[in-house]
Amino acid sequence: MSMVLRALFFTCMFSALHSSWGMDLNVLFGFLLFPRSWRRLWHDIALIIAVAVLLGVLRLYSEWRYWYPLALPEFVHSWTRYVGVLFFERISTFASGDYGQFLKAVLLADKSGLSDEILLRFRNLGISHVLAVSGFHIGFWVLLTRPLFLWARRPKSRLLAHFVQFFLLFFYAQLVGASPSVLRAVWMFGLARLAALRQWSIPSLHFPMLVAVGHYIVDPTAPQSLSFQLSYVAVFAILLALRKHKGEELILHYSYKRSRKKGSWFFVPIQISLAAWSATLPIVQLAFGGSSPYFLAGNLLVVPLITVMIWASVPLLTLGDVLPQELGSGYEQLWLWLMRFAQELLSVLQEL
């Protein structure tokens, strides 16, 4: 099963990227044959024939899917628009100024209100991923909604709670535009958490492979998008860096078993940042003409504070009707302080 999934993943991704990247067919065969070069010759010949036939089928399939795309029912889009407007108005009412614009960006994927100065500051610190709704944001919603399912204590009720939570996350993914990165995060969480509940022993790298193949089947052009490439390359690199570490659980389904070993989690954020940055560096260089050399400091010093500001918005947005109106102004001042700190940090780093 592992060999089939890996071969299918490489073949689907090659089929999608061949025209845009101009890769030679030998590159695909190298990926498929190199890890098992000691197999019998006729096995390799059969694999090459199967892949060549599959590539022809996938080409026809992508053309057919272009004319007959898959789409969700219109009522789903109507509901997401309706909920999105309500959420937008809620943020506008209780979160003022730049802080409110930031919340709209990270919670609703609406960056239109952010100034060019703020966007440039995030880019220079290498933390622009905070503004692109993906696994970071899905993790926020997973943890936020978890108390709603404390009633699920038996295996069947936990399974039911998981499906309900997955439905809410999938709805949220549609609300924020259903980009490849957020869909990848939602489906990976759904599959990984299901495997954990059912106690299936599945290697962590199989989850992004399976989701990527499914994404390709729904939309064969998806792998050509920058969001798809950055998201999947980053998550593969992170899972490879955390292989056989309990941090895998945190990345896959945002939970982990507590480790008694002191210091075992100290370097995990550094591993995650280095792995994601290193793996996506070629794509970023090609797409944006450069990348931030200060990504590690930005992710270790600024992102945690930004995360606190996101979590701090929960009482403000849920209890804003009964809380003092001055609280919103206090949040705005804290956000302005954080942005000044980010600018000062950037200035110091640039002087070094």
pLDDT digits (tens, 9 = 90+) for 19-62: 777 777 777 777 777 665 556 777 778 878 888 899 899 999 99
pLDDT at residue 93 in the model: 92
Q: Angle, nearest 10°, between helix axes 74-94 and 155-175?
A: 80
Same domain, 202 and 256: yes
Q: How is residue 98 written in tokens?
A: 């730049």
Same domain, 127 and 240: yes
User: Does residue 83 lie within any of the structural domains?
Assistant: no
Residue with the larger pLDDT of the pair 249 and 265: 249
Predicted model pTM: 0.91
Same domain, 43 and 149: no
User: Does residue 221 lie within any of the structural domains?
Assistant: yes
Residue with the larger pLDDT of the pair 290 and 182: 182
What are the tens digits of pLDDT across the range 103-157? Answer: 999 999 999 999 999 999 999 999 999 998 888 899 999 999 999 999 988 989 9
Query: What average pLDDT does the segment 199-216 reach?
Result: 93
Same domain, 236 and 333: yes
Amino acid at 39: R
Where does the pLDDT of residue 258 fall: very low under 50, low under 70, confident under 90, or very high at 90 and above?
A: low
User: Does residue 126 lie within any of the structural domains?
Assistant: yes
Same domain, 114 and 154: yes
Residue 256 has pLDDT above 70, yes or no: no
Contact 233, 260 (CB under 8 A): no
What are the tens digits of pLDDT across the range 79-114? Answer: 999 999 999 999 999 998 899 999 999 999 999 999
Same domain, 63 and 102: no
Which residue range(s) make up the domain with 42?
A: 2-67
Residue 259 has pLDDT above 70, yes or no: no
Q: Which of 217, 160, 146, 144 is nearest to 183 (CA)?
A: 217
Residue 265 has pLDDT above 70, yes or no: no
User: How far is CA 299 from each of CA 126, 273, 276, 345, rounded to the nearest angstrom?
Assistant: 7, 7, 11, 12
User: Does residue 140 lie within any of the structural domains?
Assistant: yes
> By percentage, how much of the chain surpasses pLDDT 70?
93
Residue carrying structure tokens 């290498």:
126
Amino acid at 57: V
**For residues 162 and 42, what is the distance between their CA atoms, to the nearest angstrom?**
44
Contact 114, 290 (CB under 8 A): no
Question: How far is C-alpha 3 from the geometric centre of its chain's CA atoms?
Answer: 25
**For residues 233 and 238, what is the distance between their CA atoms, to the nearest angstrom?**
9
Number of domains into which the chain is organized: 2
**For residues 135 and 159, what is the distance between their CA atoms, to the nearest angstrom?**
22
Q: What is the mean pLDDT of the chain?
A: 88
Same domain, 129 and 227: yes
User: Does residue 133 lie within any of the structural domains?
Assistant: yes
> By percentage, how much of the chain surpasses pLDDT 90?
58
Question: How far is C-alpha 181 from the geometric centre of its chain's CA atoms?
Answer: 5
Same domain, 128 and 39: no
Please give the DSSP secondary-structure letter assigned to residue 301: I
User: How far is CA 61 from each of CA 72, 219, 290, rounded to the nearest angstrom?
Assistant: 20, 10, 36
Contact 221, 62 (CB under 8 A): yes
pLDDT at residue 219 in the model: 94
Same domain, 136 and 61: no
User: Does residue 266 lie within any of the structural domains?
Assistant: yes
Same domain, 44 and 142: no
Residue 260 has pLDDT above 70, yes or no: no
What are the tens digits of pLDDT across the range 277-303? Answer: 899 988 888 888 778 889 989 999 999
Amino acid at 172: Y
Q: Which helix (H) or strand (E) holds 121?
A: helix 116-124
Tell me the backbone φ, ψ of residue 39, rounded to 5 degrees.
-70, 170
Query: What average pLDDT does the segment 50-75 reach?
Result: 91
Same domain, 59 and 165: no
Same domain, 162 and 28: no
User: Does residue 238 lie within any of the structural domains?
Assistant: yes
